Structure 1
Amino acid sequence: MRRLPGRRREAVLMGRSVNAPEVATAAAPVEIEIKLALSPRLMPRFRRHPLLRQAARSRAKLYTLYVDTPDAALLRQGIALRLRRSGRRWLQTLKAGAGSGGLLAERPEWEMPVSGKRLKLDLLPAEARSLLPPEAAASLAPCFETEVWRDTWQLNHEGALIEVALDRGEVRAGARVCPIAEVELELRSGDLPPLFDIAERLAADLPFQLEPRSKAQRGYQLVGALPCTPVKASPPLLLLDAPASVSFQHIVRSCLRQFEANLPGLLSTSDPDPEFIHQMRVALRRMRAAIGLLRFMGYTKPDWLGELKWLMGELSVARDWDVLATETLPRIQAHLPQPERLAVLLEAAEAQRRAANDRARAAVTSPRLVPLWLKVERELALLPVSPATTADWSRAALRRRRRQLVRLGERLHELDATERHAMRIAAKKLRYSAEFFAVWHPKAARRFIRHLADLQDVLGVLNDAAVTVRLLSELAPAGEAASREAVGLVMGFLACEQAYRLARLEQLWREFHDIPPYWKKGKPPLPAEVHAED
């Protein structure tokens, strides 16, 4: 992902220069770290890694007590407040944005010594105290605790000081326990590129996995304050006068966070809620749609796009079988006077669905995922600043995306199934782009997106029917009469349904085509946030 020649180059991380000499300020110290999960059986191999051989190792046992109010007021504010004992020393720490998790975390952190196992909120600087809910201090109480053995190495690389920590232990909440086995790479001083250098060298030799949950998040899940439920997309707040490249960083990071937020749910059980995979696919599709907008800033496509397509493909197989087994076939069965006639197909589809889910879980725990994530995070962090503003970029992108959809929609009566699929993809790309840039005029954008979503839904149902036909050919052996009969019932139902869907599609297209593009209204006086629905 690079700029074409002749443009100014300056690396930024979410609007902050990565060439700054320090990663923290006196007012708001910032913790920047990469966190990766590692199987306990591989920890001896990690300790012998050539990068760590020449560095001195220290070892400590860390006991940490997390506190919050009975109704988790700090969690709702994205704050983690803790007391940690290392040897005889106690430290009090407050982290803001502590719920963000993710591979690359950047968040304000205030830490100071205290005399014992007791909070001293008056020692926090005013900026940190202002983040605490006013009523929280009086009702703070122990919530959960962690105990880990930590091995630490200090690495000097390309002018940066990087602390490498290997943690093995557990989070405890009464009798409930969650294991900890992870590596943290923290940038103590210097620039970001050396941090990625070290992480990528380690990931090339060891099969790390993503662990998007912080220790605090895992503790809150143990006590039931943070349920593991599917997470929908939430577009970031963009500023129209900000550089387009900075907005692109925000958009892609929001996609990464959505994917990561749904990962624990997918891995939590052998038969997870299908919505976890769906939302992870949504995150990747939105990310790919954002990458497609790079050309409007004069950037080339990234070299990791092939790996992203691989991951999308693995999840798409699972999603197709989820839709067939849990939505399409049950919906058709509910309309049949003899629903048991689809039993043979449902049983076969369910077996394929479980196998496809196993394949999806294998993909997201594959050694290929962490190197991909590191490449994405590195390129985002070092993305050259675009001279174009977000307003210029979004206007060009939305105009082109709408034109692509209109070109197909005006030929709606002539489209075959393949062309309707192309129209569905065009509608999806426009919808995601419209959600990214809803800041132009949120109210008008919501109306535009709602009509576009209705259009996309009907196109999606028509596509599901085409996918169903393909999957049925894999399910029904030619010699089994019961299977052939069930397939015939499904095909007949879909044929009858298609006539209605096509008529509905024409109506929705006319309604959408009459809506004026909301981005032509001019700049809004203030930015606003719009939440996506998918």
Structure 2
Amino acid sequence: MERELKLQVLQGEAWETVLSHPLVDLATVAPRPMHALYFDTSDRRLQRAGIAYRLRREGEQWVATLKFAGAAGGGLHQRPEWNVAVAEPQADLGVFSDPELTEILRPYRDLPLTVVLETVFERRERRLTEVGGEQWLLAADRGEIRVKEEVLPILELELELVTGTVASLLERGAALCEALPLCPESQSKFQRGIALQLAQLPTSSVQTRQEIQTPKLHGREDAADALRGILIGEIQESLTALRVDTRDGSRTSFHDLRRAVRQLRALLRFCKPLEVDAGLKKPRQELATWFHQQSGRRDRDALLDHWQSHAPEFQLAPGLLTEALLKSDTETPSSAGTLAATLLRLWAQLEGATALSGRLSLREFAEQQLAQMDRKLRRAHIDAVSAEDRAEFHRLRIQIKNFRYVLQRLAGLWPAKDSKGMMKLLGHLQESSGLIRDAQMSASHLQPLGHEAPSELALHAGVLWGYLVARMQREEKKFRKSWNRFLEASRPWD
């Protein structure tokens, strides 16, 4: 079983710095040329079966490799792998002699195979050994993925576990991300190449929708074990969202990243009674610090979304105010590596069996904790007029989000009771409170622009401010109606 952590280098100009860093130390290692050919049938039979078949030249030797789908998430790849040295780069599944593997490959042995993509890169590699005996292979790859006339760059580190635990692998990856511009990558070279290949095919010839299977919850399962697995899944989702945001950098990808991190934080807080010691306190604080550092960008992006959506309604061009808002906010320094390091270290801690512990079943624990969160919500003060009330209302908004995120993840514990109504009410409350929040914070961003020349900018800032204040008044009424319905709604755990 291959276990490796893939880390993308985020800045091409930093390649030499990455190689020279003491944690990598590959600058003086001679690179080995690698040329890999990936084979499949014209209708992608191997890919659909979760099989990757590769012939790769490693120096002077050709090696045939089979990899099965396994599991990949948050940059950690765990999958079965078989390697056989061969004389030439001819597609032949018969070179794999393992009896079990031979049986799996039987339906594909006589099918015509062609090259679907290739990778050409240089690899520098060395073995790392810790005092405790853990060993890894560290490789630095630079080159490209080729699919017909299209190419994708390869610029990554791979950290493969030789001996030791997955937790030690994650800890090492965290140290690398903290020191260098790196981010975990959940797609292999092959998967990135296939994505590029599918983009070239007509939509009708590819499967464009992927079903995501949510693990089934078992109420009698030990709460600590079940929630440990749920938290690791949330960490992997956050790391995936982080990688997407490093590539995209859009308001949408940033919003998705913040939401993923908030969901993780909500579930961490929910699991706090199960913590054995204070080991998870530091990553919780680091996630909170990162999250609050992004508040300025979140507020600015919300204003940009409102303005660009509604400026045409007022027959105004959005460009002037858009440019002013982009200039008015001090950009938060890039913190992808810091966030990745925190997530990987938290994951490493959860891989240990002692991070969470308890005697309750998942259902018992969930019902107790949700009832407690529910009681706290019911006692909340919902006014949003004065400065003091606004601060309390903002805290209520966060409570509503956390409650919704946790309930959304655990709703499957009560299959006989419909939780859709409760989730819909919480969604309405979250949406209305978010719009109220947008109006509350808008003054600090828009008032300074209203006093600046040219006067056209002041007009646009005033229009947006007026629109948000008027909408806030409507949303406050909606919020109160939804809140009263929420208080009266049945709870699936009752």
> Does the pair score TM above 0.5?
yes
Q: Which shows bigger deviation, 202-211 or 388-397?
A: 202-211
State the alpha-carbon separation in 2 of the partners of residues 275 and 124 from structure 1.
48
- Taking the TM superposition and a 5 Å limit, the aligned residue runs for 1:103-182 are 103-113=75-85, 116-120=89-93, 123=96, 138=111, 141-157=114-130, 158-182=132-156
Which residue is 1:463 aligned to? 437
Q: Which amino acid aligns with 2:473?
A: A
**Equivalent pair of 1:90/1:113 in contact (CA under 8 Å):** yes
Which residue is 1:291 aligned to? 268
Q: Which amino acid aligns with 2:187?
A: R
Which residue is 1:317 aligned to? 296
**Equivalent pair of 1:93/1:112 in contact (CA under 8 Å):** no
Give 1:432 deviation, angstroms: 0.5
State the alpha-carbon separation in 1 of the partners of residues 335 and 5 from structure 2.
21
> Structure 1, unaligned stretches of length 5 or more?
1-29, 521-534
State the alpha-carbon separation in 2 of the partners of residues 508 and 52 from structure 1.
55
> Structure 2, unaligned stretches of length 5 or more?
none
State the alpha-carbon separation in 1 of the partners of residues 364 and 62 from structure 2.
54
State the alpha-carbon separation in 2 of the partners of residues 491 and 286 from structure 1.
30
Give 1:310 deviation, angstroms: 3.4
Q: Which amino acid aligns with 2:316?
A: E
Output one character per residue of 1:137-194: Cα deviation in whole Å (capped at 9) or x when no partner: 8475432111222222233332233222222222111222222122211112233454
User: Structure 1 residues 445 and 43 mapped into 2: Cα distance closer, same or farther (>3 Å)?
Assistant: same
**Equivalent pair of 1:236/1:250 in contact (CA under 8 Å):** no
Q: Does 1:451 align with 2:425?
A: yes
Q: Does 1:280 align with 2:280?
A: no
Q: Which shows bigger deviation, 448-457 or 423-432?
A: 448-457
TM-score with structure 1 setting the length: 0.76
Output one character per residue of 1:248-275: Cα deviation in whole Å (capped at 9) or x when no partner: 3333333333333334543446xx5421
Which residue is 1:399 aligned to? 371
Output one character per residue of 1:499-528: Cα deviation in whole Å (capped at 9) or x when no partner: 3222221222233223222123xxxxxxxx
Count of matched residue pairs: 476
**Equivalent pair of 2:286/2:342 in contact (CA under 8 Å):** yes
Output one character per residue of 1:88-115: Cα deviation in whole Å (capped at 9) or x when no partner: 33222123146x3533333343444566
Paired residue secondary structure (2:39): strand
Which residue is 1:85 aligned to? 57
Q: Which amino acid aligns with 1:330?
A: Q
Paired residue secondary structure (2:116): strand
Give 1:234 deviation, angstroms: 8.2
Q: Which amino acid aligns with 1:349?
A: L
**Equivalent pair of 2:383/2:389 in contact (CA under 8 Å):** no
Q: Does 1:382 align with 2:352?
A: yes
State the alpha-carbon separation in 1 of the partners of residues 16 and 164 from structure 2.
29
C-alpha RMSD of the superposition: 4.0
Q: Which shows bigger deviation, 256-265 or 397-406?
A: 256-265
Give 1:283 deviation, angstroms: 0.6
**Equivalent pair of 2:63/2:86 in contact (CA under 8 Å):** yes
Output one character per residue of 1:285-323: Cα deviation in whole Å (capped at 9) or x when no partner: 111111111322144343133332333234433332222
- Taking the TM superposition and a 5 Å limit, the aligned residue runs for 1:248-287 are 248-268=227-247, 272-287=249-264
**Equivalent pair of 1:64/1:145 in contact (CA under 8 Å):** yes
User: Structure 1 residues 152 and 346 mapped into 2: Cα distance closer, same or farther (>3 Å)?
Assistant: closer
Give 1:204 deviation, angstroms: 6.1
Q: Which shows bigger deviation, 245-254 or 163-172?
A: 245-254
State the alpha-carbon separation in 2 of the partners of residues 133 and 436 from structure 1.
41
Which residue is 2:308 aligned to? 330
Q: Which amino acid aligns with 1:218?
A: R
State the alpha-carbon separation in 1 of the partners of residues 63 and 319 from structure 2.
62
Q: Does 1:363 align with 2:354?
A: no
State the alpha-carbon separation in 2 of the partners of residues 108 and 221 from structure 1.
22
Q: Does 1:345 align with 2:321?
A: yes
Paired residue secondary structure (2:281): coil
Paired residue secondary structure (1:437): helix
**Equivalent pair of 1:235/1:254 in contact (CA under 8 Å):** no
State the alpha-carbon separation in 1 of the partners of residues 97 and 293 from structure 2.
47
Identity %: 26
State the alpha-carbon separation in 1 of the partners of residues 458 and 95 from structure 2.
74
The one of 223, 226, 247 aligned to 2:226: 247
Give 1:219 deviation, angstroms: 1.0
Q: Does 1:517 align with 2:488?
A: no
State the alpha-carbon separation in 2 of the partners of residues 468 and 59 from structure 1.
54
Output one character per residue of 1:372-421: Cα deviation in whole Å (capped at 9) or x when no partner: 23322221222515233322332222222222221116879999333322
TM-score with structure 2 setting the length: 0.81
State the alpha-carbon separation in 2 of the partners of residues 201 and 490 from structure 1.
45
The one of 438, 458, 464 aligned to 1:490: 464
Which residue is 1:32 aligned to? 3
Give 1:352 deviation, angstroms: 4.9
State the alpha-carbon separation in 2 of the partners of residues 352 and 200 from structure 1.
34
**Equivalent pair of 1:236/1:254 in contact (CA under 8 Å):** no
State the alpha-carbon separation in 1 of the partners of residues 211 and 95 from structure 2.
38
State the alpha-carbon separation in 2 of the partners of residues 136 and 500 from structure 1.
66
Q: Does 1:502 align with 2:483?
A: no
Give 1:276 deviation, angstroms: 0.8
State the alpha-carbon separation in 1 of the partners of residues 158 and 456 from structure 2.
56
**Equivalent pair of 1:95/1:110 in contact (CA under 8 Å):** no
